Chains A and B, each alone.
Chain A
Amino acid sequence: MSTYERDFIQAYHDNADALFRYCLFKVSDRERAIDLVQECFTKTWSYVAEGKTVDSFKPFLYRTLNNLIIDEYRRKKDTSLDALVDQGFDVGMDPREALLDSLDGKRAVALLQKLPEEYREVIYLRFVDGLSFAEIADATGENTNTLTVRAHRGIKKLKELITYGY
């Protein structure tokens, strides 16, 4: 195995869990999240197999996964859970809850999912997956200053959710 292949496999070991968590947070379907993470890694390998250089795997993987998630949203737009609720369909217990690992993790992720969309992603990537603002900017294409402001406001909003309920 070449050094580059070793590095890529190491990048898998180092980032697979965090990418899966993030993907599950975004798509709320465990099997689909696993498929998307797998696709993220195979797409990344295809990119480097063509002879292109990746300076740092972590932000590249997050960027690739983000794009796959956007495609997933577009694909599921007409059949999304929210769309079903909007149409008056009573889904009863949130099926997302059945897909998460532990009670604490379930509650934590459910609470984070209550954040407004503009704060949710940066809060999750920064404080759950531990990416730096520079890495998040690289992964999402957003400006670092914008991200820090959103993170600050997101934390304030989270405090409100904890204090006043949701």
Chain B
Amino acid sequence: MDTKIKNIFKAAQDVSLTEAERAHVLSTLQNFMKEHPSAHPQHSTPSPYTNVSLFLRVRYVVPVTLILSLVLGGGTAFAAEGALPGDTLYPMKIHLNEKVETLLAPTPEARAEVAAAQALRRVSEAETLAAHGRLDATTTEEIRQRFSLKSEELKRQVQKLEDDNDHAGADRVSVHFEQELDTHFNAFVGLDERSATATRPEITTIKDDIQQRIKHVSDERMKARARRIKDVQEKLNAGTDIHTQIRTTSDGEQKGDSVEQNGSDQGRKDGPTPESPEGGQENGPILPLPAQLGL
């Protein structure tokens, strides 16, 4: 899309409610909600705002809650899904639901996705608490530690994918995680601007943690890509060296390398040929490059 058009849309997004207007509308809305309480059961709806990782929920969360509901009975496990730090069911969410979620992940990429989802869930919980003015120092520290643990777990899982040469899977999980973190970072910037003075240090702390993790994830991905490029270059260079050896041998200075030759040698003394970028042999088969590289 044309840059000018993009700039127009971006500028239009600058139009917004003022802080006072937003607070006034919220206050009016909250009073309305008190006067018109909901008929919904307290835990009937799974919150889309506490389970952010959409690429994971559909595949893994439903089986987890189904299994736990069968074992524990009732909607306890399901109700725990929406629990926040400080809620009665939060320990169940962390120590039971999420453990089962991890165990059910069938592939290395799925395990990485689970770690990513659980890290993002911590951030989402912090966001919800902050939006309702419930983010205190103790809860913040708890969330930070859990977020850090899960992020490091994700890092280990992504490294395993790299080690298993599943670079596409490693990139997929890593990029998704970074994008989701970016979304949360923007949300925290908004919360920071809107928050009361009392909760601002906690919001700023989590916002900074997210920002550092985004940078870390991006750096790790770039390093992994650089290593892959270096590996390929080394292999290509190894191939170049072999071509050089072949050309040196073909000049008749040395014998005894493993190249087989057919037909006339005349082509060897010619200049570069279309068949060989190194200007080497025209006639006769040489061992193909992949075979030379052991691929």
The reply on A155 being an interface residue by CB < 8 A is yes
Query: When the two chains form their complex, are residues B12 and A12 in contact, meaning their CB atoms are under 8 A apart?
Result: no
Q: Which of B14, B26, B45 touches A7 (beta carbons < 8 Å)?
A: B45
In Å, the complex CA distance between A46 and B251 comes to 90
Docked pose: A1 CA to B203 CA in angstroms: 21
A87 contact set on B, CB distance < 8 A: none
- Does residue B11 face the partner (Cβ distance < 8 Å to A)? yes
**Does A70 interact with chain B (Cβ within 8 Å)?**
no
Q: Give the Cβ gap from A129 to chain B, nearest Cβ, in Å.
A: 8
Pair B38/A5 contact, Cβ less than 8 Å = yes
Q: Is A165 an interface residue (CB 8 A)?
A: no
The answer, yes or no, to whether B276 is at the interface (CB within 8 Å) is no
A41 contacts B25, C-beta separation under 8 Å: yes
Q: Does B33 contact A (CB under 8 A)?
A: yes
Once A3-B47, A38-B28, A128-B9 are accepted as A-B contacts, the answer to whether A10 and B131 lie under 8 Å apart by CB is yes
Dominant secondary structure of chain A at its interface with chain B:
helix
- Chain A residues within an 8 Å CB radius of B197: none
Contact B82 A3 (CB under 8 A): yes
Contact assessment for B132 and A1 in the assembled complex, using a CB-CB cutoff below 8 Å? yes
Interface residues on B, range: 35 or more
Are A6 and B9 in contact, with the CB atoms below 8 A? no
* B71 part of interface (Cβ distance < 8 Å): no
Instruction: Please tell me if A78 contacts chain B, counting CB pairs below 8 Å.
Output: no
Chain B residues near A51: list those with CB within 8 A: 38-40
Q: Which residues of B contact A56 (CB under 8 A)?
A: 48
B55 at interface, CB cutoff 8 A: no
Whether A104 sits at the interface, judged by CB under 8 Å, is: yes
Q: How far is the CB of A165 from chain B (nearest CB, A)?
A: 13
Verify if B2 is at the interface (C-beta below 8 Å from A): yes
Is B22 engaged at the interface, CB distance under 8 Å to the other chain? yes
Q: Which of A17-61 contact B (CB under 8 A)?
A: 17, 20-21, 24-25, 34, 37-38, 41-42, 45-46, 48-51, 53, 56
Instruction: Tell me if A137 counts as interface (CB < 8 A to partner B).
Output: no
Chain B proximity of A134: nearest CB distance (Å): 14
What's the minimum C-beta distance from B110 to chain A, rounded to whole angstroms? 26
- In-complex Cβ contact of B33 among A5, A10, A17, A127 (8 A): A5
A100 within 8 A of B: yes
Residue pairs across A and B with Cβ atoms less than 8 A apart, 27 shown, are A1-B132, A2-B40, A3-B82, A4-B38, A4-B42, A4-B44, A5-B33, A6-B128, A9-B29, A16-B17, A16-B22, A21-B15, A25-B12, A34-B21, A38-B28, A45-B32, A45-B38, A46-B36, A48-B38, A51-B39, A104-B11, A105-B14, A111-B8, A112-B12, A128-B12, A128-B13, A162-B5
Q: A4-B38, A16-B17, A51-B40 are in contact. List 12 more A-B contacts (CB 8 A).
A: A2-B43, A4-B44, A6-B49, A6-B132, A25-B12, A41-B25, A45-B38, A102-B11, A108-B11, A109-B12, A124-B12, A162-B2
- Residues of B whose CB lies within 8 Å of any CB of A are 1-2, 4-5, 7-17, 21-22, 25-26, 28-30, 32-33, 36-40, 42-45, 47-49, 82, 128, 131-132, 187, 190-191
